[in-house]
């Protein structure tokens, strides 16, 4: 038994009986740990996405200055924030295409490896 710190008293926890007659140690039992599921992960992603969209909306509303955009011989004017949003979307689409091609390549390679093992 450890010595209590100065000014504190150590109170031992005595086991007591529960309603079913079983003995209980008096310690808190949190029960089984809950597993994370895909649905809980999806909810977290949705909440984060909504927060990002709110910030994006505020950014667009605060940056309404008109900018002239030139692309592949075409030109036009649009709000600066909208032009930036289009460029971010195009960049994200490009990354998704390259990532998707790599995923397909790896799946094909894994399938080939599984067939060779048989």
Mean pLDDT, to the nearest integer, of 42-55?
A: 89
- pLDDT, greater one: 17 or 60: 60
Q: Which domain holds residue 101?
A: 80-117
What number is the average pLDDT over the span 72-87? 87
Whether 84 shows a pLDDT value over 70: the answer reads yes
Residue 49 pLDDT exceeds 80: yes
pLDDT of residue 95: 93
Rounded CA-CA distance 51/40 in Å is 17
Residue scoring higher pLDDT (18 or 95) = 95
For the chain, the three-class secondary structure string (H helix, E strand, C coil) is CCCCCCCCCCCCCCCEECCCCCEECCCCCCCCCCCCCHHHHHHHHHHHHHHHHHHHHHHHHHCCCEEEEEECCEEEEEEHHHHHHHHHHHHHHHHHHHHHHHHHHHHHHHHHHHHHHC
Q: How far apart are CA 66 and CA 77, in angstroms?
A: 6
pLDDT band at 59 (very low <50, low <70, confident <90, very high): confident
Residue 49 lies in a domain: no
Total tally of structural domains belonging to the chain: 1
pLDDT recorded at residue 100: 93
Quick check: is 90 in a domain?
yes
Is 42 inside a domain boundary? Answer: no
Residue 97 falls inside a structural domain: yes
> Looking at the domain assignment, is residue 71 inside a domain?
no
Q: How confident is the model at residue 105 (pLDDT cuts 50, 70, 90)?
A: very high
Domain-located, residue 91? yes
């Amino acid at each position: 038994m450890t010595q209590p710190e100065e000014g504190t008293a150590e109170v031992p926890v005595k086991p007591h009986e529960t309603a079913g007659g079983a003995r209980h140690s008096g310690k808190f039992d949190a029960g089984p740990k809950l597993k994370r599921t895909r649905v809980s992960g999806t909810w977290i992603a949705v909440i984060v996405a909504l927060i990002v969209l709110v910030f994006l909306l505020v950014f667009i509303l605060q940056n309404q200055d008109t900018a002239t955009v030139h692309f592949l011989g075409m030109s036009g004017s649009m709000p600066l924030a909208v032009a930036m949003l289009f460029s971010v979307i195009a960049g994200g689409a490009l990354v998704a295409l390259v990532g998707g091609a790599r995923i397909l390549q790896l799946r094909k390679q894994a399938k080939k490896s599984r067939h060779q093992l048989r």
